[in-house]
């Protein structure tokens, strides 16, 4: 199949694109490079540097490539920026997504796979684990905009027959993760410890998240190619993990026992605890997370160690 993956110069979608290509699919990449890296896109892969807000460019791309499947990960993903600039957040995440959805209908796309969000959508849950039918009460503009697209997909299926799958991610981590986003705690802790910097923990370290390794997320996107039609799925491990748990795993794998952490007040708008019910994905997608937090932490910290070593080598003058 010919699959268009948006945002595939970024962390998660680049792994999804690689998984599709490994299965022999013809993968096309769309990314505006505002957050992603061209290095995450193999030179052999067709790449379009396009902003999803640019409707003429989107229409031109769809008319030329005629993808069978659209996998949509491109987004304004900075929760804090969404709070500061809710109009910009909506323009990218809602209107930009609508550009892709309308272009998909107009060009006969057979399936639309959407990267949604769990924690930012559900808000502060009163019960755990949280199932897909739990009330949606986002407490940030980002959560509102990401969830709104799910409603449009339902509507466009009803109006035009567009088949879709929405995947609500937990906290994704792994190689290529950026330390520039507030959700990239594995990347942040790894880079700080490797630089000898004491990491910051917001709150007392007891905040609970549900982490999922990026290869497992890529596998869920593969499963969504032919399963789970017109359904919404939580995609995560279903294992509650504290900030202090993550700090401890990263420090252990980097052999940085001498480094402590600094506790500062929790940031406004952050939820205290969330863990997801992933039974629906197990039953209908026939998917479940395979990588434990311990193994994922080992693989992730090893990646950041290699990156740090390569940076040091490249920083050494050639005549030294």
| 12, 18, 23, 25: CA torsion to nearest 10 | 100
Handedness of CA 211, 196, 180, 33 (dihedral sign): negative
Catalytic residue among 122, 134, 142, 173, which? Answer: 142
Tokens encoding 257: 């026992």
Other Cβ atoms less than 10 A from the Cβ of 64: the count is 12
Q: Which residues contact 68 (CB under 8 A, 6 or more apart)?
A: 1, 2, 3, 109, 110, 111
Q: How far apart are CA 9 and CA 154, in angstroms?
A: 28
Q: Which residues contact 248 (CB under 8 A, 6 or more apart)?
A: none
Q: How far apart are CA 131 and CA 150, in angstroms?
A: 16
Residues linked to residue 209 through DSSP beta bridges, in sequence order: 241
Question: Is residue 190 within 8 Å of 250, Cβ to Cβ?
Answer: yes
Nearest to 181 by CA among 54, 77, 53: 77
| 20 classed as catalytic | no
Other Cβ atoms less than 10 A from the Cβ of 198: the count is 11
Give the Å distances, CA to CA, from 28 to 20, 91, 126, 236, 252.
10, 24, 41, 26, 39
Residues serving a catalytic function are: 142
């Amino acid at each position: 199949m010919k699959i268009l993956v948006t945002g595939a110069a970024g962390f998660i979608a680049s792994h999804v694109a690689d998984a599709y290509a490994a299965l022999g699919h013809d993968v096309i990449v769309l990314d505006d490079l505002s957050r992603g890296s061209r290095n995450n896109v193999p030179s052999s892969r067709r790449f379009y540097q396009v902003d999803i807000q640019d409707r003429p460019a989107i229409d031109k791309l769809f008319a030329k490539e005629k993808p069978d499947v659209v996998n949509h990960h491109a987004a304004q993903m900075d929760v804090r920026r969404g709070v500061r600039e809710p109009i910009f957040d909506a323009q990218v995440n809602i209107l930009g997504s609508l550009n892709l959805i309308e272009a998909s209908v107009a060009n006969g796309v057979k399936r639309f796979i959407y990267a949604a969000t769990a924690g930012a959508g559900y808000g502060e849950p009163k019960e755990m684990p949280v199932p897909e039918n739990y009330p949606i009460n986002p407490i940030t503009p980002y959560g509102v905009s990401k969830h709104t697209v799910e409603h449009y997909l339902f509507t466009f299926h009803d109006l035009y027959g567009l088949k879709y799958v929405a995947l609500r991610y937990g906290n994704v981590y792994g190689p290529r993760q950026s330390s520039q986003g507030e959700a990239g705690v594995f990347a942040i802790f790894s880079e700080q410890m490797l630089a000898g910097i004491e990491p910051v923990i917001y709150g007392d370290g007891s905040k609970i998240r549900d982490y999922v390794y990026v290869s497992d997320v890529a596998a869920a996107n593969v499963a969504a190619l032919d399963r789970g039609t017109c359904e919404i799925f939580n995609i995560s491990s279903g294992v509650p993990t504290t900030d202090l748990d993550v700090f401890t795993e990263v420090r252990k794998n980097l052999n940085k026992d001498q480094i402590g952490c600094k506790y500062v007040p929790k940031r406004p708008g952050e939820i205290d605890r969330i863990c997801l019910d992933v039974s629906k994905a197990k039953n209908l997608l026939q998917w479940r997370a395979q990588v434990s937090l311990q193994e994922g932490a080992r693989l992730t910290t090893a990646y950041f160690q290699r990156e740090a070593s390569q940076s040091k080598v490249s920083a050494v003058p050639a005549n030294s």
